[in-house]
Structures are given as structure tokens and as C-alpha cells.
Amino acid sequence: MANIVRWEPFREALTLRDAMDRLFAESFVRPFGGWDGEMLGEFQPLPVDVIENKDEVIVKATVPGLKAEDIQVNVTADVLSIKGETKSESEVKDANYVRRERRYGSFARRLTLPTTVVTDKAKAEFEDGVLTLTLPKADEVKPKTIQIKKK
């Protein structure tokens, strides 16, 4: 049985507007960039995942091609800063590049965390190009259950 879909003429207009916005952004706003925030040789790591549970906030950032010592992480109250630098491996002098997409340079990424965290108990692990930060929530933001006493 075939599904009948109602035609909405404004849906196509919104799609056209989205296409024009994207064209404008790629042509004028960030003409040299590929990822968001990338301009003139600077780049940001790929998007991060921020996971919140009742006791902690977990942040996973993909930073391929870097070593743990090339990354700096700072946490202040509810702001997380990730900075790093990747260097060019070697200079190619005898050949011409056909295509060069691998980036090098520095990056900095700041995120506002969903809640205040305890920075002294934060943990960071780096494996296979993925930085995983485990940030325990501050006690004042954890939900507390209050027992009601009968009189």
C-alpha cells in the first residue's frame, strides 16, 4: 500500500533558504575553512561528545594524529578548555603535492559544561586518538534526597 504525503510548498522554500545560507557561509564567512572554527591554518578537533550522568560529566574528543603530551586540558568551574598542537611531519621538497588534506597547526576549544565539576578529582585518558575526560560533579549540584519525618 502506498503512503500519501501531503505537499507543503513552504518546505521547499526552507530547503532553498538553507542552501543559500550554506553557500553564503562557505563563500564569505569562512572561505579557507573546512571544519567549524577553522581559519587560516588553525583547526579544531572533531566535535566532542558530552555525557552527563548523576555523578559525573564525561567528555570525549577526537584528536587524531596527536600524542598525549601535545594536548593541554584546563577546567575552571564549568568551562573546559582543550588546547593542542600538531606539527608537520616533514617538508617534501622533491615532489609536488597532488592533494594535501592533513592539517597541522594549533587548536583551542572551549566548552561550557552543563554543571560545575570538581577539578581536583578529574581524570583524563588518551587512547587511539580519543581523549576521554571524566569530571566528577560538585557536591552542591548533585541531587539530594531529604527524608520526611512524621510527628
8-32 average pLDDT score: 67
- pLDDT, residue 89, reads 65
What's the mean per-residue pLDDT of the chain? 77
Domain ranges of the chain: 9-39, 41-90+102-141
Residue type, 103: R
What gap in Å lies between CA 109 and CA 48, rounded to an integer? 10
41-90+102-141: in CATH 2.60.40.790: yes
pLDDT tens for each residue of 98-144: 666 666 777 888 889 988 888 889 999 999 889 999 999 888 766 77
* 20-29, 49-58, 75-84: segment of lowest average pLDDT: 20-29
Specify which residues 95 forms β-bridges with. Answer: none
Report if pTM > 0.75. Answer: no
Nearest to 115 by CA among 73, 52, 61, 60: 52
Reported confidence tier of residue 21, pLDDT bands at 50, 70, 90: confident
Specify which residues 130 forms β-bridges with. Answer: 62, 127
The residue whose grid cell reads 594524529 is: 65
Reported confidence tier of residue 148, pLDDT bands at 50, 70, 90: confident
